Structure 1
Amino acid sequence: MANEHQTKAWNGYEGEHWAARRTRYDAMLADLNAKLFPAAAITAGERVLDVGCGAGETTRIAASSSRHATGIDLSGPMLEQARAASADLANVTFIQGDAQVYPFPRHEFDIAISRGGIMYFEDPVAAFSNIRRALRPAGRVAFIAGGAQKPDSDSMAAFTTLSRFIPRPAREPGDNSPSPAALSDPDRIREIFTAAGFHAITVQTHETVSIVGADAVDATDFILTWGPVRYALEQAEVDDTGEIHAAMTEALRPFETDDGVRWRSDVVLITATAE
């Protein structure tokens, strides 16, 4: 597999963490479905490829309005959950593999979708070229990627607080290495997708709302278990997170609502057509 670091993470702690909390993550990302699926406009006769399908919620949604949906993901733990939750669906298939290099049958799919599973390719042009070859001529894509992280975004309330205890290494301008914001620049997106053989490329930024926890304490408990946060704590040799927990909880209090801790952030919706 080409994306070795991601393969290791999603078959280790990161994948196990998401798999054990798949319903919580699906609820947190639910607002993205309302943006992704209208743009995808899947119809009954179509075959769908779901890239970075995780525990399979988006694959099952796609299957409900299509001929067949295939989900591909690196993570064995998450695909175990996906297969169990989809056992009664005859038109769903899951593949463990790397979409950057997986030997998909040529012209197999009418549309490829993704809810946040496309930002971590080591070589995005190669990855999207491979996906394009799997699409029929004039097949299309509808992808959601992470948006630019604004200094005043809601999530920065937590991460700015965390950085008081664990300095975050600054990303150099133009650093496009795999990260949630690796595909946040519209010009770069158009360049990549054009090079990969797509046209009619559209890039739209949308605000989305995520429910991160029932209250500030619950949200902080959850955030401190996230893979990148846990890794940062380990690297900084932080064993006692009591002070960090208290500070982050206080920082998240303003985002508490009757529905839980609500975060607003930007995502990027990408659509394109295969040449």
Structure 2
Amino acid sequence: MTGMVETNVEQWKSWNGDDGDFWVERADRLDEGIANYMEPFLAAAAIQPTDHVLDVGCGTGTTTREAAACANEVLGVDLSGQMIALARQRSAGLTNVRFEQADAQVHPFAEGEFDVAVSRNGSMFFEDPVAAFGNIRRALKPGGRLVLLAWQPMDDNVWLTTFRGIMAAGRDLPKPPPDGAHAFSLSDPGRVHPLLDKAGFQDVRMTALSKPMYFGRDPGDAAEFIAGQFAKLIEPERRASVLAALRTDMADHMTARGVEYDSASWLIQATHPS
């Protein structure tokens, strides 16, 4: 747990507290939700049988295990002790996978240890992203690759703008600041390119992806999930009416798979200079 008491303190508290508990209990729902992004994400990573891979913000280890199916060895790191515990449990028997509860911003990775660093929606929460990505770059071999999946701007994600509008119930909910540690901190190409340049990467590329995102088997199931995920945005006295409004909107988004809304992500790629 190197450095986690000195850096990313609020994120450490969150992911080792209620947020970590929430996602451990709903690990499968998280994987189902963004499953449509996995194919292009893994294709971009292009992991080879000889590769050593670093999975940043690995959560419960789904991407770590997917990488391990192609790689020589994979290390998954995450701030959340609960999620790392479940990742280890679900990866029992895999000999080329290991996990550490660690802060990738400061963790003392061996220099030049990895061929590829990947992160599926886990790289947006650094207190000092230049320092964090600089540390990740040093852990890569010269010519090593960085592949990230991160959200496009909030306004381009129909699922979130819809849910926020319903949960606001007429209030004006402020958007997160552009340079904070939050889910949309890598959504602006005008910020991402200089950030990764300062961290020592080159050939930074951002490819727009749009995929349906899954939220539940039916409107009731999906509404309960979203109301739990964004509980802090719902005024307690309005919870019943918000749930009803969510269910009504979600009924219009039923597919053969379940409740789905459009979403938009960036596939971010960069390389460590040779």
TM-score category, normalised to shorter length: over 0.9
Say if 2:157 and 2:263, in contact at 8 Å, map to a contact too: no
Say if 1:32 and 1:115, in contact at 8 Å, map to a contact too: no
Partner of 1:231: 232
Deviation at residue 154 of structure 1 after TM alignment: 3.5
Show structure 2 runs of 5+ residues with no match: none
Say what the alpha-carbon RMSD is for the aligned residues: 1.5
Partner of 1:144: 149
Among 17, 23, 29, the alignment partner of 1:12 is 17
Q: Please give the secondary structure, in 1, of the residue aligned with 2:155.
A: coil
State whether structure 2 residue 263 is matched by structure 1 residue 265. yes
State whether structure 2 residue 159 is matched by structure 1 residue 159. no
- The normalised TM-score by structure 2 is 0.94
Among 27, 36, 39, the alignment partner of 1:34 is 39
Deviation at residue 232 of structure 1 after TM alignment: 3.0
Between the aligned partners of 2:159 and 2:84, the Cα distance in structure 1 is: 31
Partner of 1:214: 217
State whether structure 2 residue 134 is matched by structure 1 residue 129. yes
Question: What is the total number of aligned residue pairs between the two structures?
Answer: 268
> After the TM superposition, which parts of structure 1 deviate over 6 Å for at least 4 consecutive aligned residues?
none
Deviation at residue 201 of structure 1 after TM alignment: 1.0
Between the aligned partners of 2:41 and 2:215, the Cα distance in structure 1 is: 20
Among 170, 181, 184, the alignment partner of 1:181 is 184
Report Cα offsets for 1:33-81 as digits up to 9, x if no partner: 1121000000000000000000000000000100000000000111111
Q: Provide closer, same or farther for how the CA distance between residues 239 and 9 of structure 1 changes in structure 2, counting only shifts above 3 A.
A: farther
Q: Please give the secondary structure, in 1, of the residue aligned with 2:211.
A: strand
Between the aligned partners of 1:152 and 1:272, the Cα distance in structure 2 is: 24
Deviation at residue 85 of structure 1 after TM alignment: 0.5
Between the aligned partners of 1:149 and 1:31, the Cα distance in structure 2 is: 19
Shifted more, 84-93 versus 239-248: the winner is 239-248
Among 102, 108, 113, the alignment partner of 1:108 is 113
- The normalised TM-score by structure 1 is 0.93
Say if 2:158 and 2:263, in contact at 8 Å, map to a contact too: yes
Report Cα offsets for 1:245-275 as digits up to 9, x if no partner: 1112112221111210111111011111102
The one-letter code sitting in structure 2 at the alignment partner of 1:232 is: L
Deviation at residue 148 of structure 1 after TM alignment: 0.9
Show structure 1 runs of 5+ residues with no match: none
Deviation at residue 152 of structure 1 after TM alignment: 7.3
